[in-house]
Structure 1
Amino acid sequence: MKTGDDIMGKHSGLLTGERVYLRPLNGEDAEVYYHMFFGEETRRLTGTQKHINKEQISAYIDRKAGDDSGVLLLIALKENDEVIGDIAIQDMDRGNRTANLRLAIGEERHQNRGYGREALLLMLEYGFGILNLHRIELEVYTFNSRAEHVYESVGFVREGVRRQTLFYNHEYHDVVMMSMLEQEYRERYVQQRSK
């Protein structure tokens, strides 16, 4: 079992929910990260078209470690420390207090079990509470209705559709743009806790 010190990062401490926790990546995570996102369905849901090797994954992890425009964390199960996905706040604009969020659960056996929702709520708390963001936005492909439903259920508002943004498997797909504002988050989650 990892201790709190083992999973502390420069951007975040231990973000812990009921069943998952979020932790920074380290060099030893390249292998698991590579296999987690190699599956065909995960690649489709994330719109990943490029094939990448383990060396490129290691270089990506190293780049992210020194990147102060975002926070990339792995999603791990509390019961056994198994890494099941990742979540990121990225492209932070500190002047306007905005950022983009992305989330991926790697294997199908971990999808549709509420882990992504729990990780999302942990990251929203971190983004609005610690990073002091005003707006967090995301994009989801229209064929990923399950993810769109999760985002709406936690309070993201649909803002529009960018038509035929992704060319994947010989056809074009639209992407839905969604966002949540600081006040919407606080009204929904912070004020509920104080009651």
Structure 2
Amino acid sequence: MDLHIRGREPGDAAAYQCLYSHPDVYRWTTQLPCPSIATWQKKFEKMDELGYIGFVAEIDGAMVGELTLFVEQRPRTRHSISFGISVDPAFGGRGIGEKLIRNAMDYAFNWLGIMRIELEVFHDNERALRLYQKLGFEREGVKRKACLRDGEYHDIVQMAILR
């Protein structure tokens, strides 16, 4: 497996649409299922305007995962950044998520001067929770019944790592 991580490009909208249309992906996000390619194109434009930074993981030229750094807009909290990540379920368990996160941590700490990286994860996403803890993220709190999934409200765990 030769994994390549690169910056997100406008032409990636179709690959994002495919990834985020998979039930085993969108159920672990706070996004609505099955967004269109046009929706992703618009999201990319908005993300670029806000200075968000996207990374794509590829194997043999095919996108197998993505991570987006959400740059904080408020002046007094610009030392913090958050991220969202998804990996194609067909490529789960191969270290792709870990490599994307390590890449993002290096970028945030060493190129953006970030002091704090934070994230939110569903309380029952055990695989993700284990990975975040392995990478040094600590639980900071729980947002109770914060997100609707499959017709039920679920808790969201807040985690962060400090430089």
TM-score (norm 2): 0.90
**Equivalent position to 1:45, from 25, 28, 34:** 28
Aligned residues: 161
Q: What is the TM-score with the length of structure 1 in the denominator? A: 0.76
Partners of 1:49 and 1:168 within 8 A in 2 = no
- SS class of match (2:101): helix
Find the partner of 2:63 among 60, 72, 83.
83
CA distance in 1: counterparts of 2:76 and 2:2, whole angstroms = 34
Please say if residues 87 and 103 of structure 1, whose CA atoms lie closer than 8 Å, have aligned partners that are also in contact. yes
Matches of 1:34 and 1:163 in 2, distance apart? 29
Deviation at 1:113, TM superposition (A): 1.5
Task: Indicate conservation of the 8 Å contact 1:22/1:76, yes or no.
Answer: yes
Q: Does structure 2 conserve the Cα–Cα contact (< 8 Å) formed by 1:20 and 1:118?
A: no
Unaligned runs of 5+ in 1: 1-17, 183-195
2:154 is aligned to 173
Distance 2:105 2:92 in 1: 20
Bigger Cα Rg: 1
The residue aligned with 1:24 is 7
Give the distance between the partners of 1:24 and 1:170, measured in 2 at CA.
35
The runs of 5 or more residues in structure 2 that have no matched partner are none
Return the alpha-carbon distance in structure 1 between the equivalents of residues 157 and 58 of structure 2.
Answer: 27
8 Å contact from structure 2 (residues 5, 58) kept in 1 = yes
Distance 2:76 2:3 in 1: 32
Q: Which has the larger strand fraction?
A: 2
Aligned pair partner of 1:35 in 4, 11, 18: 18
Q: Alignment identity in percent?
A: 23
